[in-house]
């Protein structure tokens, strides 16, 4: 979710070891405070405080310090009591995916959005949807399922044949369970209706040799450049601007009024 | 399964239920941590208010605060 607020992939990667990443000086100082307060709050050096004061006012330092405090609070609570990662309710997610499928006539966009919904909603690290044919790459990828640990692979079947594959990967300690498989199978059924009922894979297929080599289908109607029809690396997805994602208004808990979308899904 | 049980919308009072329903509407889920904290409704409601005050728009950018939060969570090995 941090990406929604303008944090780049590079910066997120840099947070693994901030001293080795070229963060701007003010960000570096704030991150040093995060480390110091988290790992030894009684020994935050004067030099660090002076560094902070070069970039931030006292109110700003207070605000940064409360962020560090709140996250330590929440992290420790969740660690101590082994709080499960929150996943989106399957029924709600299926409803939203169905609406997305209906609303997007382009197969590329439909699959991209659905895959991103799946990745975020079920906390997968990667989701790919391959649109292929039964004798092509889809079936081969499907056949490799048993060899891949930590990967969930579900075929999309329409008219008695495979028209694609949904692949998901997760880094949760527990393996994919029946709930995950059942849910992704529901999604596959939705996609089968959309893909199998169109020319997506059954009709506008490329020459067989190319199809088998590529392992996924190529749609000439939506893919004029002849590129493989492989969709969905989350980092490359066209994320709609915030203004198109619905209201994001404030939620006043004290009064219990109004609405608020809660962006900090990673942490809560 | 987490150690502390998680309360659902039908197991909480009207105030917390309204908060839960808002989560469902906006996010499609209720964060598990908050379902556990709901055992103490007063703490949950003030926790949420404080969280919003801390993480919402303020004197530094939300992006910086998100980065700081990610860094702290990393240091605490918290995958939640």
Domain extent at residue B28: 9-75
Regarding predicted confidence, which is higher, B17 or A200? B17
Q: In this model, does residue B80 exceed pLDDT 60?
A: no
Give yes or no: residues A111 and A232 share one domain: yes
| Furthest CA-CA distance within chain B | 39
Task: Check residue A170 and give left, alpha or beta (phi > 0: left; psi -120 to 50: alpha).
Answer: beta
Whether residue A100 sits in one domain with residue A208 = yes
Shared domain for A169 and A135, answered yes or no, is yes
pLDDT tens track for A41-60: 999 999 999 999 999 999 99
pTM tops 0.90, yes or no: no
For chain A positions 30-59, those within 8 Å of chain B (CB to CB) are: 30-31, 33-35, 38-39, 56-57, 59
Residue A71's closest chain B neighbor by CA? Answer: B69
Q: Closest CB to A67: pick one of B25, B46, B55.
A: B55
* Cα–Cα distance measured from residue A80 to residue A75, given in angstroms and rounded to the nearest whole number: 8
**A60 and A114 in a common domain:** no
pLDDT tens digits, one per residue of A112-142: 888 888 888 887 888 888 875 444 444 444 4
Q: Could you tell me where the DSSP H helices lie in chain A?
A: 9-14, 25-40, 46-55, 58-80, 90-103, 107-122, 137-143, 178-196, 208-214
Q: For residue A85, is it within any domain?
A: no
Token pair listed for A160: 């008695």
SS (H, E, C) B3-24: CCCCCCHHHCCHHHHHHHHHHH
Higher pLDDT, A198 or B50: B50
Is pLDDT larger for residue B72 or for residue A230?
Answer: B72
Task: Decide if A213 is inside a domain.
Answer: yes
pLDDT digits (tens, 9 = 90+) for B22-37: 888 877 889 999 999 9
Domain for residue A258, yes or no?
no
* Position A118 in a domain: yes
Residues A130 and A230 placed together within one structural domain of the fold: yes
Given a cut of 50, whether residue B71 has pLDDT beyond it is yes
Same domain, A99 and A227: yes
At a CB cut-off of 8 Å and minimum separation 6, what does B36 contact?
A81, A83, B2, B4, B5, B6, B7
Task: Please report the residues numbered 116 through 135 in chain A whose beta carbons come closer than 8 angstroms to any beta carbon of chain B.
Answer: 121
Contact present, A156 and A164 (Cβ < 8 Å):
yes
Residue B30 lies in a domain: yes
Same domain (yes/no): A121, A223: yes
Residue B29, CB-side half-sphere exposure with 13 Å CA sphere:
23
> Under an 8 A CB cutoff, do B29 and A35 touch?
no
Residues A73 and A7 in one domain: yes
Q: What is the pLDDT of residue A8?
A: 84
Closest chain A C-alpha to B16 CA, distance in angstroms: 10
Classify residue B26: in a domain, yes or no: yes
DSSP state at residue A3: G
Number of residues in chain A: 268
Q: What is the span of the domain harbouring residue A68?
A: 2-80
**Are A83 and B52 inside 8 Å of each other by CB?**
no
Contact residues, B window 24-43, toward A, CB-based 8 Å cutoff = 24-34, 36-37
Question: For A75, which residue in chain B has the nearest alpha carbon?
Answer: B78
Q: Which residues between 181 and 220 in chain A have a beta carbon less than 8 angstroms from any beta carbon of chain B?
A: none
**Quick check: B26 and A261 CB within 8 A?**
yes
**Inside any domain, residue A19:** yes
Nearest to B68 among A64, A81, A84 (CB): A64
CA–CA distance, A187 with A78 (Å, rounded to integer): 30
- Bridge partner list, A257: A252
Residue B4, in any domain of the structure: no
Segments of chain A with pLDDT less than 50 = 133-148, 199-268
CATH of the domain at A55: 1.20.1290.10
CB contact under 8 A, B22 and A260: yes
- Would you say residue B80 lies in a domain? no
Q: In Å, how far are A31, A32, A153, A216, B74 from A163, measured between CA atoms?
A: 48, 51, 13, 9, 40
Which of A55, A80, A105 is where one domain is finished?
Answer: A80
Q: How many domains does one find in chain B?
A: 1
Q: What is the CATH number of the domain that holds A187?
A: 3.30.450.40
Same domain, A102 and A186: yes
Residue A62: per-residue pLDDT? 98
ipTM of the complex: 0.94
B19 to A253: CB separation less than 8 angstroms, yes or no = yes
Q: How far apart, in whole angstroms, are the C-alpha atoms of residue A218 and residue A158? A: 17
In a domain, B3, yes or no: no
Q: What is the pLDDT of residue A132?
A: 58
pLDDT score, position A172? 63
* Angstroms from B76 CA to nearest CA on chain A: 7
Q: How many domains does chain A have?
A: 2
Residues A197 and A116 in one domain: yes
Contacts of A187 (CB under 8 A, 6+ apart): A94, A97, A114, A118, A154, A166
Domain boundary among A80, A106, A139: A80
pLDDT at A94: 87
Q: Residue A226 gets which letter from DSSP? A: -
Residue A259 lies inside a defined structural domain of this protein: no
State the Cα–Cα distance between residues A86 and A93, nearest whole angstrom: 13
Domain boundary among A29, A49, A80: A80
- Å between B59 CA and nearest CA of chain A: 6
């Amino acid at each position: 979710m941090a990406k929604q607020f303008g944090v780049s992939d590079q910066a997120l990667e840099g947070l693994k070891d901030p001293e080795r990443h070229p963060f701007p000086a003010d960000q570096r100082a704030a991150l040093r405070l995060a480390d110091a307060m988290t790992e030894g709050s009684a020994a935050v050096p004067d030099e660090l405080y002076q560094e902070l004061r070069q970039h931030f006012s006292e109110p700003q330092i207070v605000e940064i310090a409360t962020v560090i405090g709140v996250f330590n609070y929440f992290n420790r609570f969740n660690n101590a009591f082994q709080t499960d990662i929150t996943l989106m309710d399957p029924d709600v997610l299926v409803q939203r995916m169905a609406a997305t499928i209906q609303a997007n006539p382009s197969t590329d966009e439909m699959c991209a959005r659905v895959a991103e919904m799946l990745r975020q909603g079920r906390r997968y690290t990667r989701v790919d949807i391959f649109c292929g044919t039964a004798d092509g790459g889809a079936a081969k990828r499907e056949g490799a399922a048993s060899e891949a640990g930590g990967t969930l692979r579900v075929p999309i079947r329409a008219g008695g044949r495979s028209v694609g594959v949904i692949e998901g990967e997760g880094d949760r300690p527990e393996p994919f369970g029946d709930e995950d498989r059942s849910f992704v199978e529901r999604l596959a059924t939705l996609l089968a209706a959309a893909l199998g009922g169109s020319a997506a894979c059954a009709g506008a297929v490329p020459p067989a040799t190319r199809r088998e080599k590529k392992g996924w289908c190529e749609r000439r109607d939506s893919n004029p450049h002849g590129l493989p029809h492989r969709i969905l690396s989350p980092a490359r997805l066209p994320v709609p601007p915030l203004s198109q994602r619905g209201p994001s208004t404030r939620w006043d808990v004290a009064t219990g009024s109004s609405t608020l979308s809660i962006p900090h899904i990673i942490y809560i | 399964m987490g150690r502390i049980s998680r309360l659902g919308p039908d197991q909480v009072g009207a105030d917390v239920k309204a908060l839960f329903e808002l989560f469902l509407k906006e996010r499609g889920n209720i964060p598990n941590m908050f379902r556990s904290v709901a055992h103490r409704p007063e703490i949950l409601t003030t926790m949420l208010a404080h969280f919003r005050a801390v993480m919402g728009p303020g004197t530094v950018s939300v992006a910086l605060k998100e980065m700081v939060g990610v860094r702290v969570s990393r240091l605490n090995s918290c995958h939640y």
